[in-house]
Amino acid sequence: MKNVKCKMQNAKYHLRCLECGNIIPDRYTNTCPEGHDSLLRTVYNRKRIRRLSGRGMFNYIDWLPVEEMLPVNTNPITYKSEEFGKELGLENLYVSFSGYWPEKGVFMKTCTFKELEALPTLLRAKERAGEEILVVASAGNTSRAFAEVSSLTGMPVVAIVPRSCIYRMWTTMEPENHASIFLITVDGDYSDAIATSKEIANKPLQGFRGQRGGAPLIGGLIEEGGVRNVARRDGMGVVELEAAFFMKVLPDYYFQAVGSGTGAIAAWETFIRLIEDERFGRKMPRMVISQNLPFAPMVSAWQDGRAEIIADKDMRNADDAIKEMYADVLSTRNPPYSIKGGVYDMLMNTNGKVYGITNEECKEAEKLFESEEGIDLDPAASVAVASLIKALEEGYVKKKATILLNVTGGGYKRLKKEFAMYKIEERMEIKSNSLGQLPLDEIERELKEFVQAL
Ligand SMILES: *Cc1c(COP(=O)(O)O)cnc(C)c1O
Ligand SMILES: [Zn+2]
């Protein structure tokens, strides 16, 4: 026991359960050992963050749950918008951009802020979970980010995506670098991909062993953790850190499109830390989040004043609604809305607001932003842009207010001018009739082959 204590005192951070307040040392721990339905939050020893230079997002390593750094130039940028801001009559509009836009000094080749999640998550897994291989499910953008980082670093990943999203699975690295990516496609949507990943990571393949570089692989597969994974949240928090150092002050309003809401929770947590830092002001920004109609469960629950999502009320005809969405990466069916420290708590604590955005509004906003700022947007980012326009039209936001608009993805067209996009080949496809009763023997066999070839 003494030993553990000593170790914890030396650690640069520990985890804290928001329900019981217990301090938990990080062993790739994503849930409270007491079983609470609560997020764990990172507590960093250093309250006043340093900004290093020349290390991409690891400039902010003080507030990332990792010990080492990876040599990358991944970092979001913040700039003060002139053209688009003027168009809207805003004097203090700041844009945070995650994507590929070399003219602005941002080089994220997976074109979304998911890259900020993938880097520290893979590193934390390596540092804290030993030789276990991460299993990641997504509608595409997350898996692509993990795939790119995997092919860059050789850290292996099992990626699971709906077949309809496979066009999002590419990297800028040539196919011979894809050996560390095991891509599985699933008939169905994002939720089916998540269910499949849970089943694969949790049950029957435990004890699965292979060889990696001559060393035995112990442990097998491990669920990445989604919103519960502090590396994902603190990685995305770099957006707000970069913004705070650029703006010198916290914004009055923060705008972001949400699917799960993980990015917005991350922003809120980072603002809490920045307020404790004391150099950026004391006022918590109002969190303004947006979803793409007709599938917007959190909009529906929040407008109804509920802390719970009720499927019959908030997600009627979900399959059809999701198919209609312009920004289908936002189609999360089980977002961390009610969980302690989740989206509902965030909205309550920040006097926040929620907008539902139609495809029409989305496309119109996208056109305006692209023509004024000169960069193409991810459809999800267009949802956020549209929500800002809507908030102004409603008079919710004053023109003099200081606003941070999180443009979570973009620059695909810009990237294509310089780079080829190499498709990632799927290693397995899971048919809809085997959902719920996976061909585990076959999966195990294929995975063994994959691990042995690493
Ligand atoms: C995933 C994603 C979002 C939504 O992020 P969540 O953390 O799931 O709410 C927004 N924009 C882009 C470009 C994304 O890829
Ligand atoms: Zn607890």
- Check residue 16 and give its pLDDT: 98
C-alpha distance from residue 412 to each of 109, 170, 375, 417, 440 (Å) = 8, 12, 9, 9, 37
For residues 157 and 427, what is the distance between their CA atoms, to the nearest angstrom?
Answer: 12
In this structure, is residue 179 part of a structural domain?
yes
Q: Could you tell me if 244 and 368 lie in one domain?
A: yes
For residues 189 and 448, what is the distance between their CA atoms, to the nearest angstrom?
Answer: 27
Sheet holding 23-24, edge to edge: 23-24, 13-17, 40-44
For residues 428 and 442, what is the distance between their CA atoms, to the nearest angstrom?
Answer: 9
Residue 407 near ligand 1, beta carbon < 6 Å = no
Q: Could you tell me if 98 and 162 lie in one domain?
A: no
In this structure, is residue 340 part of a structural domain?
yes
Q: Could you tell me if 272 and 399 lie in one domain?
A: yes
Q: Assign 284 to helix, strand or coil.
A: coil
In this structure, is residue 271 part of a structural domain?
yes
In this structure, is residue 46 part of a structural domain?
no
CATH code at position 447: 3.40.50
Q: Could you tell me if 100 and 153 lie in one domain?
A: no
Q: How many structural domains does the chain have?
A: 2
In this structure, is residue 6 part of a structural domain?
no
CATH code at position 253: 3.40.50.1100
CA of 210 to the centre of ligand 1 (A): 34
Q: What are the tokens at 394?
A: 């409603």
Measured from the alpha carbon of residue 387, the closest ligand is: 1
CB 208 within 8 A of CB 201: no
Torsion angles phi and psi, residue 248, rounded to 5: 70, 0
Amino acid at 318: A
Give the residue from 71, 80, 79, 70 showing the smallest Cα distance to 98: 79
Ligand 1 pocket test, candidate residues 144, 288, 329, most atoms within 8 A of CB:
329
For residues 330 and 112, what is the distance between their CA atoms, to the nearest angstrom?
Answer: 13
CB 64 within 8 A of CB 229: no
Which residues have their alpha-adjacent CB atom under 5 A from ion ligand 2?
17, 19-20, 32, 34, 36
- Check residue 205 and give its pLDDT: 53
Residue 408 near ligand 1, beta carbon < 6 Å = yes
- Check residue 208 and give its pLDDT: 52
Q: Which atom of ligand 1 is least distant from the CA of 227?
A: 7
For residues 112 and 44, what is the distance between their CA atoms, to the nearest angstrom?
Answer: 26
In this structure, is residue 384 part of a structural domain?
yes
Residue 382 near ligand 1, beta carbon < 6 Å = no
- Check residue 1 and give its pLDDT: 41
Q: Could you tell me if 249 and 203 lie in one domain?
A: no
- Check residue 58 and give its pLDDT: 98
Domain carrying residue 355: 77-110+230-415
Residue 261 near ligand 1, beta carbon < 6 Å = yes
Q: Could you tell me if 96 and 146 lie in one domain?
A: no
Angle separating helix axes 379-393 and 359-373, nearest 10 degrees: 100
What is the DSSP-derived secondary structure letter of residue 42? E
Q: Could you tell me if 168 and 204 lie in one domain?
A: yes
For residues 219 and 7, what is the distance between their CA atoms, to the nearest angstrom?
Answer: 24
Q: Could you tell me if 294 and 264 lie in one domain?
A: yes
Beta strands in 270-416 (DSSP E): 286-292, 353-357, 402-407
Half-sphere CA count of 48, side-chain side, radius 13 A: 2
Q: How many CB atoms lie within 10 A of CB 413?
A: 13
In this structure, is residue 18 part of a structural domain?
no
- Check residue 129 and give its pLDDT: 86
CB 63 within 8 A of CB 237: yes
Q: What are the tokens at 447?
A: 């995975």
Q: How many CB atoms lie within 10 A of CB 364?
A: 15
What is the DSSP-derived secondary structure letter of residue 250? -
In this structure, is residue 81 part of a structural domain?
yes
Q: Could you tell me if 327 and 185 lie in one domain?
A: no
Q: Could you tell me if 307 and 243 lie in one domain?
A: yes
For residues 335 and 324, what is the distance between their CA atoms, to the nearest angstrom?
Answer: 19
Q: Could you tell me if 271 and 366 lie in one domain?
A: yes
* DSSP run (H or E) holding 447: helix 440-452
The angle formed by the CA atoms of residues 98, 102 and 104, to the nearest 5 degrees, is 70
Per-residue pLDDT of the chain (454 residues; tens, 9 = 90+): 444 444 555 789 999 999 999 999 999 999 999 999 999 999 999 999 999 999 999 999 999 999 999 999 999 999 999 999 999 999 999 999 999 999 999 999 999 999 999 999 999 999 998 778 899 998 889 999 999 999 998 899 999 999 999 999 999 999 999 999 999 999 988 888 988 988 888 765 544 554 444 444 445 788 899 999 999 999 999 999 999 999 999 999 999 999 999 999 999 999 999 999 999 999 999 999 999 999 999 999 999 999 999 999 999 999 999 999 999 999 999 999 999 999 999 999 999 999 999 999 999 999 999 999 999 999 999 999 999 999 999 999 999 999 999 999 999 999 999 999 999 999 999 987 776 678 888 888 888 888 888 8
For residues 108 and 73, what is the distance between their CA atoms, to the nearest angstrom?
Answer: 8
CA of 440 to the centre of ligand 1 (A): 31
Q: Could you tell me if 331 and 271 lie in one domain?
A: yes
Half-sphere CA count of 406, side-chain side, radius 13 A: 31
What is the DSSP-derived secondary structure letter of residue 436? T
Size (the chain), residues: 454
Residue 352 near ligand 1, beta carbon < 6 Å = no
